[in-house]
Amino acid sequence: MTDTFNDQKPPAKRRLPGLRLKRAAGGLTVLIGMSYAIGSFAAHAPSDVGIGASSCAATIEMLGDAHFDRIVTAWSSGFISGSNADPVGDPSRQRDIATVSEASILRHVRTYCAANPTETLASAVERLFASLPDYH
- 50-131 to CATH, choices 1.10.890, 2.70.98, 1.10.8, 3.40.50: 1.10.890
Domain boundaries, the chain: 16-45, 50-131
pLDDT tens digits, one per residue of 21-35: 666 666 656 556 566
Q: What is the pLDDT of residues 47-76, one digit of tens each?
A: 556 889 999 999 999 999 999 999 999 999
- Measured in whole angstroms, how far is the alpha carbon of residue 26 from the centre of its chain? 31
> Which runs of consecutive H residues, i.e. helices, occur in 3-135?
19-44, 56-62, 66-84, 102-115, 121-131
